[in-house]
Chain A
């Protein structure tokens, strides 16, 4: 086959069916409905299979992207899935929620002239196919005698659990809420990431023998120190997420109708407040809803409000669309759905009525000044530009701070912002205790949390003296046993070598 060039590949991206805005704002079904086989194959043809694939480097977990695309072209879908899951075992989730434009697709050379290869959509297609076919990564697990406890069932905890279970450890995951999944469950709404997908991916973990214990608040029910002490865990991983919503401390913040996006989303996604009173948790959605912030959390809060029947939804953000941290696709979808964006606008005061309910908001216009430490241009207020508008609900989506519970209940070292301090191997100040994900970095992304979970799993394996084919080829001091009859067990699977 002649080598593909930018001229010979399909010039347009394959079609991804989406629900029309007028229809989708009335339901919670997925907006983007995914490729079918035919479209996936067309999209695969657009990959130039670069020898030095920039996309692999652009992926936080280093998925062999051209590799899995070639396998799809060869119609070896199962092979493609196996290759994918070597690096990422949650393709159906990451294909939906990763900010691909900043990662793999952002560096795809096709993107220099045309739209980049829709890597995220292909990843999602493969993940969905695996769920539909009931595939799981075949893994021969040889149990060792190690037990690992994991706190938090978000992407970081789950990724760590999966790798350690595959290495033969007995893994227990503790989750405070009554359902596992972390932000994937309580935060990201159904129309972006259906619960059925989260359930399917968690089901795969359970097949690896991982035990998930919900309704368990680690730190309070038992401490981290108890886990490595009395409870006998050989190692512990902490993936409790960032979680604590930030407020601004402006007048009127404690009026009824002011809440965090986390609260709004938890009430809807986890507690099904949209179906109140059939479900017991109320939300009391406003007719008009103003959301402060412009990240993924803000987009989700706005689009959920719209779907629950808000007539008007505003986005108030102090910078411009270009600085907005949300995935490009989500902003685009939000705009199509009729959300009114107030860029370069900061809230000054929330206005209340005589019953202490929100009636409006006072804002000030901003302009962009010099770049700040983060390289983003700092927004500065324009004098005398205050204005008021009417709204019945104000939702804060301006970021989160560290969850304090583990800091309150253990001697683990925190940094000055309250996040857990780790070294480059994700080891914390407590021996045998590792941490990763949002609780270490502050709010980030699903894929970075997963990457951290996997990295911690590698560190834990090293700490426990488990050698695996990923990190060790053949221990120099290989015993007769491991090489007997020419069978190299290290190659096929995991061999545990106690270092001392």
Chain B
């Protein structure tokens, strides 16, 4: 496996660089999946081997991944990184064609065609003494390295994470290890506090009048609500924006967002911004850009999957995990 990994690693480590180039010149791309865990029928975790990135990654950064040669380039937050093991961790929510296809096809031992990163400005782990780290939906995993970062910097960390219901909960232990207080909110009340993460924030602010900073990652509507919840208290609120991206290098401007009345490119200027300055309505509108196309792609793909599932040779492949 090790032999295989080295060959497949998109970037040779510094000391390997002397040991000679690949014969074909263009380094074999392809990034091996070392582990996969399914948290629920929509959320799964991948551990991917990329030692250089595992060393370089910082909380708040992301990768752009392309699954296969007909694939789309999609951004995913680096939810964790382990320089010792040489891996980075992604937690993916299957919401559309590409992420569902990944859920179906990406297995331990498999390979990802392309993955580039770490992208974006790392989150600034400030001097704050007391912070609330808020994660909702696909933001739960990405908030973890930030919470850990603040803990390591000596802050008092209050974790607030939201799920739709108890069966979707993951990483509770991991969070408890790095949070001084930890709250789960569920929409249906099946675990923790019944309600939205904003209610968790309000509760925490009520208990602690001295909160210096709030960091919120999740769907735009949630981040908007968090920013509104903290605005009257004048608590600095950092959000991580997730606009549609292509290259992630600042070259296309597809990821542009409005912050403080000015255009910013989330991939190079962000993804973190001051939540009180972000024009969330603009972000939410622009996320609808390809709605029809996305629906069409998903329908066509699901249709194909159904058809393939009827063919006997394919039955071993069907179904999630």
Contact = CB atoms under 8 A, between A and B. Distances in A.
Interface in B2-51: 10-12, 14, 17-18, 21-22, 24-27, 29
A259 B21 contact: no
Interface string A236-260: 0000010111010100011111011
Nearest to B290: A282
Interface stretch (A32-40, A206-214, A330-338, A343-351): A206-214
Nearest to A401: B250
Interface stretch (A88-96, A263-271, A480-488): A263-271
Given A213-B11, A216-B116, A276-B293, A262 B252 contact: yes
Nearest to B56: A221
A473 interface: no
A253 B24 CA distance: 44
Contacts of B114: 178, 214-215
A30 to B, nearest CB: 23
A217 B27 contact: no
B139 to A, nearest CB: 22
Nearest to B68: A280
Contacts of A226: 14
A214 B290 CA distance: 28
Contacts of B247: 176-177, 186, 266
A220 interface: yes
Interface string B103-116: 00000000001111
A274 B300 CA distance: 17
A172 interface: yes
Contacts of B268: 244, 403-405, 408
Contacts of A177: 116, 247, 249
A281 B53 CA distance: 26
A127 interface: no
A375 interface: no
Contact of B119 (A220, A243, A262, A279): A220
B70 A408 contact: no
B251 interface: yes
B163 interface: no
Nearest to B66: A178
A367 B98 CA distance: 49
B246 A176 contact: no
A221 B21 contact: no
B100 to A, nearest CB: 12
Contacts of A230: 14
A353 to B, nearest CB: 12
B52 A247 contact: no
Contact of A266 (B18, B119, B251): B251
B253 A282 contact: no
Nearest to B26: A212
B216 to A, nearest CB: 22
Given A215-B116, A260-B252, A408 B121 contact: yes
Interface stretch (B171-179, B219-227, B281-289): B281-289
B246 A267 contact: yes
Interface residues of A, number: 60
Interface string B235-265: 0000000000011111111101010000101
A231 B10 contact: no
Given A214-B27, A243-B249, A259-B254, A178 B118 contact: no
A260 B253 contact: yes
A186 B248 CA distance: 14
B250 A405 contact: yes
B116 A403 contact: no
A446 B61 CA distance: 33
B53 A178 contact: no
A256 B256 CA distance: 12
A232 interface: yes
Interface string A157-200: 00000000000001010001110100000100000000000000
Contacts of B66: 178
B253 A215 contact: no
Interface centre among A230, A278, A282 (most CB of B within 10 A): A282
A13 interface: no
B129 interface: no
Contact of B286 (A207, A244, A254, A263): A254
Contacts of B286: 254, 256
Contacts of A277: 97, 293, 296-297, 300-301
Nearest to B265: A244
A376 interface: no
Contacts of B118: 217, 220-221
A147 interface: yes
Contacts of A220: 56, 61, 117-119
A310 B244 CA distance: 23
B73 interface: yes
B297 A147 contact: no
Given A206-B24, A259-B253, A262-B252, A221 B53 contact: yes
A281 B72 contact: yes
B297 A276 contact: yes
B292 interface: yes
Q: Which 7 residue pairs of A and B lie closest in terms of their CB atoms, listed nearest first?
A: A206-B25, A282-B293, A280-B72, A211-B21, A263-B252, A178-B114, A260-B253
7 contacts: A176-B248, A213-B27, A214-B10, A215-B114, A217-B116, A221-B117, A284-B292
Given A222-B56, A241-B251, A263-B253, 6 more contacts: A206-B25, A206-B26, A215-B29, A221-B11, A277-B301, A282-B290
